[in-house]
Amino acid sequence: MYMPILPDIAPYINSLKSRFMALLPILHYPDPRLHMRASVVDRVDADIRQLAADMSETMYAAPGIGLAATQVNRHVRVIVIDVSEDRSQLLTFINPELIEKSGECEGEEGCLSVPGIYETVKRAAQVKVRALNVEGETFELDATDLLAVCIQHEMDHLDGKVFVEYLSRLKQTRIKAKLVKQSRETF
Ligand SMILES: [Zn+2]
C-alpha cells in the first residue's frame, strides 16, 4: 500500500542498505500474476526470512507502507507493513488470518502495484489478525485505523485481489487503460 504523504525517510533507507538484502521488482496492475492466489507457508525457514527482509527493503525504498509477496511475484502468504511515521515499526505477517473484524471506515488508498491511482475503499475499521512472525511463532494483533486498512489491503493481494477491484467496472477500465499507457511510455 502507498500513502502520498510520508516523512523524510532517506536517512533510514541509507541505514538499511546491506549486501544481505535486495530490492525486488514490483508487478504493476493489470499484470495477471497479481491475480494469483498465494500458498500457505509450510515452514518459516531461511528462504522465507530472506524474502521478508527483501520485501521490507523494497517497501521502504519505494516508499510504501505495506507490501505483499504477490506484488514481487512470490506467491506465498507473506506481508510486510510499517505505518509508523519514523518507519521504525516493521511488522511481518506470515500466513495472516483475520479472526475478527468490525466497524466500517472509508479512506483513500493507493498501491505500489497501481502507481499514481488513489481511490476511496470501504473496509472494516477494526481487525484482529493472527499470523506467524519471522521466528515462526504465532502472534495476534488488534489493529485500527490505517494499520487495519493496510492489513486488509495486503491480505487481499495474497488472494489475488487488487484494491481497484472494489471500484466500478467503468473506473477499473479507465485505470487499466491509464496504466497500460504509462507502461508503454516507460519502455
Ligand atoms: Zn497494494
Q: Does the residue 5 lie in any domain?
A: no
What are the pLDDT digits (tens) for 93-119?
999 999 999 999 999 999 999 999 999
Predicted pLDDT at 87: 94
Residue 174 confidence (pLDDT) above 60: yes
Predicted pLDDT at 18: 47
Predicted pLDDT at 11: 46
Ligand 1 mean position, distance from CA 10 (Å):
22
What are the pLDDT digits (tens) for 125-152?
999 999 999 999 999 999 999 999 999 9
Count how many domains the chain has: 1
Ligand 1 mean position, distance from CA 100 (Å):
21
User: In which element (H, E) is residue 48 found?
Assistant: helix 46-61
- Cα separation, 186 vs 71, whole angstroms: 19
CATH number for the domain spanning 135: value is: 3.90.45.10
Q: Given pLDDT bands bounded at 50, 70 and 90, which one contains residue 3?
A: low
- Three-state SS string across 6-46, please? CCCCHHHHHHHCCCCCCCCCCCCCCCHHHHCCCECCCCCCH
Q: Does the residue 82 lie in any domain?
A: yes
What are the pLDDT digits (tens) for 22-66?
899 999 999 999 999 999 999 999 999 999 999 999 999 999 999
Residues acting as catalytic residues: 154
Cβ pair 6, 71 in contact under 8 A: no
Ligand 1 mean position, distance from CA 153 (Å):
6
Cell numbers standing for residue 138: 504465532
Ligand 1 mean position, distance from CA 16 (Å):
22
The rounded mean pLDDT for the chain is 91
Q: Does the residue 2 lie in any domain?
A: no
